[in-house]
Amino acid sequence: MRVDINFGKGSLPVELSDDWQVTVVRKPQMPIEADGAFAVKRALQSPVGCAPFRELARGCSNVCILICDITRPVPNGVILPVLIKELIAAGVEAKAITVLIATGLHRPNEGDELAKLVGDPWVLETVNVVNHFAARDDDHVLVGTTNSGTVVRLDRRFVNADLKIATGLVEPHFFAGYSGGRKVIAPGVAHAETITTLHNAHFLEHPKTANCVLEGNQLHAEQLEIVSMVGDAYAVNTVIDERRQISFVNFGEIIVSHLDAVSVIRRFAEVPILEQFPTVVTSCAGYPLDQTYYQTVKGMVGPLDILSPGGSLIVASECSEGLGSPQYVEAQRRLISQGADVFLEQLKCKTHAAIDEWQTEMLLKPMQRGDVQLYAPGLSNEEGELTGVRMIESVDQAVRESIRKSNDTRVAIVPEGPYVVPFVRPNNAPSVNRR
């Protein structure tokens, strides 16, 4: 038996014996929009919780459209041309439209990468497309302080716009419950100090800060409070299938429309499974997410509910760009030198997390659950020593060794990595409210 899992810009075959008890965890079959551009235009004309798009745009002299950075496979090449043409048709001048890349604390997207991200040369030629830089103080404006004390500074290009639009992909997210919507604003275009507050251990160690959880998720609640500070804001939300085709798109008031999209993707991304497995094989969803080890941690956290305690979690990720940022590499060095307990205790004392150390914090979850094994040909030997997990040269061999060690032939395969979140629900058990 062979199962292909997402890997880089293609797939990685995993060979499995026909004698083994293999469970492949995939989303159910999703509907596909035959014409993505038409679906976007239809969404603009039939909004959720607000007036039709052209009515909102009429009379505006400063429009800001947020897009996610290169780490998210958002179909910008479909969405942006429709949005911009509708704005122009409503009387907005092209020079009054800014597409702002919501990088958070990630690196800027430039050159060929920028062209690939935007997806349509007409957009680059027609409107201003710029990156958000979280460390530039002058680019940000104070919009308020949350009830929990987070000082909120956001990119002034977004805050000062007459019409504020976020675009994004709605998918499971291991802090925020689901990505998209409010998350594109904060941390997407927030100041570095706001971002590092949102990523401190106060939020991340809360039990409801987890994949697919919104109700009781303190980080989600904080993001909603931040969104309320900027006034009226809107969103184009997309849901895609495992082939990156548009399955659903809507437009509307940012909070209401995001929840509407979440209600759609929940039916596909949250997959109930009858039992836990001693061997789980997964990916980091392939390109663009699996370019770094930093993002690979998401693939490690996604299937933890179905991994037996002490079991083998085998992860394949290309890691073509290495570990990640210098700050993340430094956090990994501290983890290796200090050990998990000391590292975590230090985080709990901080109001502001160090940049990217939150991903190392999340790495502790799979490390504490079982034996994490990583196939990542893009990492050097030196980089592999900083992962905190066991490096392997063959997924197939790792699966065989896990079966021999556990004396159990049950294997779960999650080809799409963090875009699918399996959870254990035995037969006859009531549905769990994961909202």
For the chain, give every domain's residue range.
2-26+274-424, 36-268
Superfamily classification of domain 2-26+274-424: LarA, C-terminal domain (3.90.226.30)
Residue showing tokens 């499971």: 172
Superfamily classification of domain 36-268: LarA, N-terminal domain (3.40.50.11440)
Strands (E), 349-402: 371-375, 390-391
Residue-wise over 75-111: b if at least 16 C-beta within 10 A, else e?
Answer: bbbbbbbbbbbbbbebebeeebbbbbbbbbbbeebee
Residue 425: per-residue pLDDT = 87
Residue-wise over 26-52: b if at least 16 C-beta within 10 A, else e?
Answer: ebeebeebeebbebbbebbeebbebee
* Phi, psi for 282 (deg, rounded to 5): -150, 180
For residues 347 and 361, the answer to whether their CB atoms sit within 8 Å is yes
Judge if 2-26+274-424 and 36-268 fold alike in CATH terms.
no
pTM of the complete model = 0.93
Which H helix or E strand runs over 124? helix 121-126
Residue 426: per-residue pLDDT = 78
Average pLDDT for consecutive 10-residue bins of the chain (435 residues)?
A: 97 98 97 98 98 97 98 96 98 98 97 98 98 98 98 99 98 97 98 98 96 98 98 98 96 98 98 98 97 97 98 99 97 97 95 96 97 98 98 99 98 97 78 48
Residue 433: per-residue pLDDT = 45
Residue 429: per-residue pLDDT = 59
**Between β-strands 270-273 and 246-253, what pairing exists: parallel, antiparallel or unpaired?**
unpaired
Amino acid identity of 78?
V
CA separation (Å) from 122 to 67, 77, 80? 16, 10, 10
Residue 45: per-residue pLDDT = 97
Residue 365: per-residue pLDDT = 97
For residues 209 and 218, the answer to whether their CB atoms sit within 8 Å is yes
